Amino acid sequence: MNGAAPTDDRTPVAEADVCIVGAGPAGSLVADRLASAGHRVVVLDAGLRFDPSERIRRQERAIRPYYDRPDVWDGDPERDAYSATGEWFYPLNHARVKGIGGSTLHWQGMVMRLHEADFNSGSERGAGPDWPIEYADLRPYYADAEAELGVSGADIPFGPPREEPHPMPAFPPSYSDSLFAAACDELGIAMHPVPNARNSESYDGRSECVGYGTCQPVCPSGAKYDGTVHAESAEAQGARVIDRARVTELEHGPNQVEAAVYVTPDGDEHRQEADAFVLAAGGVEIPRLLLLSESDHYPDGLANSSGLVGRYFMDHLFAGAGGRLDEPTRQNHVGFLTSESHQFYDDADEEFAPFKLEFFNYAGPSPVEMALSGDDWGDELLGRLREGYGNHVAVGALVEQLPREDSYIGLDPDRTDDLGNPVPDVHWNVGDRALRTIERVNDIQHGILETLGAEIEWTVGPEETGPAYHHMGTTRMSADPSEGVVDATLRTHDLDNCWIASSSVFPTGGAMNPTLTIAALALKAADSIEASL
Judged on CB neighbours under 10 Å (0-12, 13-18, 19+), 138 is buried
The reply to whether CATH 3.50.50.60 applies to domain 1-108+219-316+403-428+471-533 is: yes
Q: What angle do CA 197, 201, 203 make, to 5 degrees?
A: 70
pLDDT tens column, 480-526:
999 999 999 999 999 999 999 999 999 999 999 999 999 999 999 99
Above 90 in pLDDT, residue 334? no
User: What is the pLDDT at residue 426?
Assistant: 98
Residue 102 — pLDDT band, cuts 50, 70, 90?
A: very high
pLDDT confidence bin for 1, thresholds 50/70/90: very low
Nearest Cα residue to 279 out of 434, 503, 468, 457: 503
**Would you say residue 281 has pLDDT above 90?**
yes
pLDDT band for position 35 (cuts 50, 70, 90): very high
pLDDT band for position 8 (50/70/90)? Answer: confident
Percent with pLDDT over 90 in the chain: 81
Q: What percent of the chain has pLDDT above 70?
A: 98
Tell me whether residue 400 is exposed, middle or buried, using C-beta atoms within 10 angstroms of its C-beta: 0 to 12, 13 to 18, 19 or more.
buried
Burial of 172 (0-12, 13-18, 19+ CB in 10 A): exposed
Mean pLDDT of 10-29: 97
- Mean pLDDT taken over the chain: 94
What pLDDT is stored for residue 385 in this prediction? 74
So what's the pLDDT on residue 305? Answer: 97
Please write the tens of the pLDDT for every residue from 226-243: 999 999 999 999 999 999
Q: Reply yes or no on whether the pLDDT at 389 is more than 80.
A: no
Please state, in angstroms and rounded to a whole number, the distance separating the CA atoms of residues 44 and 25. Answer: 13
Lowest pLDDT segment from 31-35, 273-277, 285-289, 325-329? 325-329
The pLDDT of residue 6: 66
Whether the pLDDT of residue 271 is over 50: the answer is: yes
Q: What is the pLDDT of residue 383?
A: 82
Q: Tell me the pLDDT tens digit for each residue of 36-86.
A: 999 999 999 999 999 888 888 888 777 777 677 778 888 899 999 999 999
Q: State how far the alpha carbon of 420 is from the alpha carbons of 75, 416, 457, in Å.
A: 18, 5, 46
pLDDT at 461: 98
Q: How far apart are CA 522 and CA 136, in angstroms?
A: 16
121-165 residue pLDDT tens: 999 999 999 999 999 999 999 999 999 999 999 999 999 999 899
pTM of the model: 0.95
Tell me how far apart the alpha carbons of residues 316 and 229 are, in angstroms, rounded to a whole number. Answer: 27
pLDDT at 382: 82
The answer, yes or no, to whether residue 248 has pLDDT greater than 50, is yes
Report whether pLDDT(274) > 70: yes
Kindly tell me if the per-residue pLDDT of 369 is higher than 80: no
Residues annotated as catalytic (active site), given as ranges: 470
Q: Among 92-101, 268-277, 393-402, name the one with the lowest average pLDDT.
A: 92-101
Residue 7's pLDDT band, with cuts at 50, 70 and 90, is low
4 pLDDT band (50/70/90 cuts)? very low
What does the CA dihedral 116, 119, 125, 127 come to, rounded to 10 degrees? 160
Averaged over 366-377, what is the pLDDT?
A: 74
- Domain boundaries along the sequence of the chain: 1-108+219-316+403-428+471-533
- Strand bridging mode 152-153 / 355-359: unpaired
